[in-house]
Amino acid sequence: MSKVLEREDRQAKFLGELQALVKEIENSTEDLKVVAFMEYTAPPETVKPKVIKFSKVLELLRKLAERNDVQEGVSKVMFYSPTTGRSRGLTPSMMAGFQYIKPGVATKPHSHNMASIYLVVKGKGYSIIDGKRYDWEQGDVFVVPANAVHSHVNTGEEEAILFDVTDSGLLENLGVLEFKED
Ligand SMILES: [Fe+2]
């Protein structure tokens, strides 16, 4: 097993009297750093294993759906680990969350360049994905590919709850995550 290198900023030590020249280049414009030698950055923090209990999340989803802040009868709760920094993922590449839809309600059509995999936790209905209808019920899994316009409809008598995992963290970290809504 190879040894993991201790990370450190070795630039100052190696550059010696050349530090002044490097500073001059950096100060010649805005927002620039010069790396003349391998510069080790701080190691990323590690995401901790965890269990997110459903009962309290469900209570939050129901209360948010009553407030109609996002859309009448719809709520969404997502999770991320602060250790992932800019990714805002539950892991550095993935985010996960629940969507709650009251009976008879359809979510607003939108698209994004993250892809999503959904599990139907409760209820039944369908999704319109790029103009085509896909019916689902409890326990089913469906996929919304990147950039597909999608809307979810609850056709049942009870609340519908969807759980989804996306690759938003990866795109967010690259600075290319994009949402579209008419
Ligand atoms: Fe979406």
Which structural domain, as residue segments, surrounds residue 81? Answer: 54-181
Position 65: which residue type?
A: A
Distance 55 CA to ligand 1 centre (A): 23
Average pLDDT, the chain: 91
| Confidence check: pLDDT of 1 > 60 | no
Inter-residue contact 115 to 145 (CB < 8 Å): yes
Q: Is residue 173 part of a domain?
A: yes
Q: What is the pLDDT of residues 49-88, one digit of tens each?
A: 999 999 999 999 999 999 978 789 999 999 999 999 888 9
As beta bridge partners, residue 164 has 97, 118
pLDDT one-digit tens code per residue, 113-122 = 999 999 999 9
CA neighbor of 123 nearest in space, from 139, 108, 107: 139
- Please report where in the chains the tokens 């892991």 appear, as a residue: 91
Does residue 150 belong to any structural domain of this protein?
A: yes
Q: What is the mean pLDDT of residues 6-11?
A: 64
- The strand pairing partners of 48, in sequence order, are none
Greater model confidence, 44 or 17: 17
Question: Ligand 1 centre and the CA of 110: distance in Å?
Answer: 6
| Percent of the chain topping pLDDT 70 | 90
Within a domain: 67: yes
Is residue 66 in some structural domain? yes
- Alpha carbons 34 and 22: distance in angstroms, whole number: 7
Instruction: Output the CA 112–ligand 1 centroid distance in Å.
Output: 7
Residue whose structure tokens are 């969507």: 99
User: What Å distances lie between residue 140 and 19, 58, 66, 77, 133, CA to CA?
Assistant: 60, 19, 26, 20, 15
Number of separate domains in the chain: 1
34 assigned to some structural domain: no
Q: How much is the pLDDT for 68?
A: 78
47 band by pLDDT with thresholds 50, 70 and 90 = very high
CATH number (domain holding residue 105): 2.60.120.10
> Tens of pLDDT along 148-160?
999 999 999 999 9
Whether 147 is in a domain gets the answer yes
The answer as to whether 1 is a domain residue is no
